[in-house]
Structure 1
Amino acid sequence: MHLLDTFQFLTLTVSLTVASDLETCECKPKINTCNVVPCGLPGSNGLPGRDGNPGPKGEKGDQGERGMLGPPGKVGPMGTKGDLGPRGPKGDEGKNEDLISLKAQVTALQEEMRMLQDNINKYSKAMILSGFKIVNEKWFKVHTSEETFEEGKKICSKNGALMAAPQNVLENQALEELAQNFNKDIYLGISDEVTEGTFRYQNGQNIIYSNWAENEPNGARKENCVEIYKNGQWNDRPCTDKRLIVCEF
């Protein structure tokens, strides 16, 4: 009986203590949190919660602006050869009238060319008779009288020219024709007066072409000048002899 009274007394004491503490504590509402928060010191933040479930897929956005052109890629492998295309239609056969007309024009041109060549030959002969001969870009002009080598140089110099001196086969043939036409040998603008055995042009350069007759030159110091025969071959002879003079322009 005594033990029961003691337990009831302790229970009453605890109840009074809890009631006293509740009277001094105020609860304040907190928006968007819990409705009632017991008074006391604020607690520390808890650990982050787990990720929520994925939400629904959003709508497709607008297409962005086109970016800059990138560098070219590697060249791809060569493709297979394509099939041969279809053959085109055969062209129309030419008219016989056109072919006949073309042949007539060709014939007329050939006749004109023949007549032109004949006229050129006539003019060439006339020029040779008057003492002229043209070879490439050279003009040969005959001085009708025969003179010594020194006189020949003076005559050509007065006309702004040099004595004829062939430098190739064609030029030599032109002088050969003049010699045959006038039936006289011609002095060439070539000599070895400066150095015996070394034949030079009037400008002092060594000759680059020659057409000596057999066993020529053979005159040594007595024959320092050169003449061309009517057969086109050369010979050395004394410069004081007189020969036909031809100037070249």
Structure 2
Amino acid sequence: MESADCTFYTEMDTDALESKGPPSQRTTGAPLKLRCPVRPLYVVGGGSAILWIVVLCLHVTKSSEMAAESQLLRAEQAKVQESCNSSTIESMEAEIEETQNKVSEVSSQMENLQSTVAEMSSQLQNVGAALKEMAPDMSTQMRKLQREVSRLSLQMRILQMGGSDKSFNLHEWEVNVRNETANSNWSDLSGHQYYFSSDRLSWSSARDTCTSMSSYLAVVTTEQEQDFIISKMRERSWVGLSDLEEESVWKWTTGEPVEQRFWESGEPNNEFDEDCGEIKENGKLNDIPCNLRRHFVCEKDDVGAQ
């Protein structure tokens, strides 16, 4: 069996070659020759070819399988998308329709509400205008009613005093009151008359005295009235202001609430059980104890009222 190894000869071996062969076959200084069997090379080349064919077949087979799987996946994906798209679109269309119906309903309700609000606003404006027109008359009527109630209350007190004290002379008292009223100096302002006392009484006595003159302790509701009173009064004076009916709820004797702008800063503070109101020289209101003695200001609505 021949070896697969190749034997190489160079110029250094020429002498040996010349000695071995006949003269006609000797070669002097011949180039390098290769003596190698050809059969192993075919084997290696054939094996490589077979290997490449196998790899190529595997690659083709794998590619075919992957292509088939990819096609199958695309088909499944298309089915899923078709199914999903169909059901999703139907669901979304239903939801959109329902939402549109709700929006329409809410819009209708909003329109009705706006219409109702506008109508109520118009009615409130009308009521406000009517109340504004009625306010002066109502205030006057309340004052007159309060005056009549105070007069009846005073008459009952007088009758009680006359019944329990024999020295009390009702007729004489009425004459004195008439004389005081006739001789007193009443000042007129915008259809109202004001009496400024020269003596000092407690708040309740001042109130009763005003009632006996068909009037009431003054009620201050405007800056004009405030300025007029302080320009005429002699010193701090009682006005028709108290919280005797309900603690810390200050009202005029006519039942009207007191506007905060007329109070002195920090008042009312009820520091010493102060339940009655006076007007100071600067025109501001102040709360003090009702038993203190002060000048007072009476007011009556109609000029020449008895």
Please give the TM-score of this superposition, normalised by the length of structure 1.
Answer: 0.44
**Bigger helix fraction:** 2
The higher relative CO (CA closer than 8 Å, separation ≥ 6) is in: 1
